[in-house]
Amino acid sequence: MKVNIAEFIISAVGPDQYPDDALPEVALAGRSNVGKSSLINRMINRKNLARTSSTPGKTQHMNYYRINEDSMYFVDFPGYGYAKVSKTQRATWGKMVEKYLSERDTLKLVLLIVDLRHPPTSNDKMMFDWLKHYDLPMCVVATKADKIPKTRWQKHIKIMKQELGVLSGDNFIPFSSEIGLGKEELWGLIDGYVLSSENETPDTEDAEIDANESQQVGPTEA
Ligand SMILES: Nc1nc2c(ncn2[C@@H]2O[C@H](COP(=O)(O)OP(=O)(O)OP(=O)(O)O)[C@@H](O)[C@H]2O)c(=O)[nH]1
Ligand SMILES: [Mg+2]
């Protein structure tokens, strides 16, 4: 995808604020401070559209970034596993994310962002298992590769895959927001999921489709 325009749309606290224009959505999940917002900035060639910080827990809501006016959204989740977040806040986060992931029809792909330097955390594993269980289209993106020597990438990739339980057919991309590693590969993957959704037949559960009017493809507005 060629990114011409990227805009911040909304910092949503719940479903009422999610956009209702039915554009495909690519969500980013990962622990706090792992580099989710930086990854978005790298993908869209912007220094700081998605707010990044060395202080963990910066992204508190679901931040929507729209690409090319009518192409897709990146949805930046609040990071999990941030120690200073209260129990109540954590429960609220869990419910919001779980509801989004299980009910959002326009969700096309989840990027599970992990840190290539370290083995996955228990939260990373939980999120991976959860996404697998619900059979959501996913790609594990192992970022911050620039922080380890290239000669050790393969070893780290192997450990990450093994400990998460990534299978040979699963999507896995080593990445670096700092040097741009993996950017083209990730866009190629995203394009596949986002563009294929444009050819899907609309949900016809309750509606009868008139053969003459069935030219319109893709999600319909509620
Ligand atoms: N060297 C290097 N630093 C990175 C990379 N990605 C992110 N960082 C740094 O890691 C820190 C956290 O990055 P963010 O993108 O804000 O992380 P986040 O996952 O959005 O964090 P929350 O919003 O708190 O959940 C920042 O200081 C970034 O500059 C990378 O690929 N390489
Ligand atoms: Mg962030």
Mean pLDDT over 155-180 rounds to 97
CB-neighbour burial class of residue 68 (10 A; exposed 0-12, middle 13-18, buried 19+): middle
Measured in Å, residue 37 CA sits from the centre of ligand 2 at: 4
What was the pLDDT predicted at 75? 95
Confidence band for 87, pLDDT divided at 50, 70 and 90 = confident
**Does residue 207 fall inside a structural domain?**
no
**Does residue 52 fall inside a structural domain?**
yes
Mean pLDDT over 45-72 rounds to 81
More confident residue, 99 or 94: 99
Measured in Å, residue 51 CA sits from the centre of ligand 1 at: 10
Confidence band for 214, pLDDT divided at 50, 70 and 90 = very low
Go through 191-209 and write b for each residue having 16 or more CB atoms within 10 A of its CB, e for each that does not. Answer: eebbeebeeeeeeeeeeee
Q: State the total domains in the chain.
A: 1
DSSP category for residue 134: T
Mean pLDDT over 82-101 rounds to 79
Nearest atom in ligand 1 to 34's CA: 19
Regarding the beta carbon of 51 and ligand 1, being less than 6 Å apart is answered: no
**Does residue 133 fall inside a structural domain?**
yes
The answer to whether residue 152 scores a pLDDT higher than 80 is yes
User: What's at 222, amino acid-wise?
Assistant: A
**Does residue 145 fall inside a structural domain?**
yes
**Does residue 141 fall inside a structural domain?**
yes
pLDDT tens sequence across 169-202: 999 999 999 999 999 999 999 999 998 766 665 5
Range of the domain at 22: 6-197
Regarding the beta carbon of 33 and ligand 1, being less than 6 Å apart is answered: yes
Gap between the Cα atoms of 73 and 36, Å rounded: 14
Regarding the beta carbon of 34 and ligand 1, being less than 6 Å apart is answered: yes
Tokens of 125: 């594993």
**Does residue 210 fall inside a structural domain?**
no
Do the Cβ atoms of 139 and 55 come closer than 8 Å?
Answer: no
Q: Which domain CATH number covers 13?
A: 3.40.50.300
What was the pLDDT predicted at 93? 78
**List of E strands, the chain:** 6-12, 25-30, 62-67, 72-76, 107-115, 138-143, 171-174
The answer to whether residue 143 scores a pLDDT higher than 90 is yes
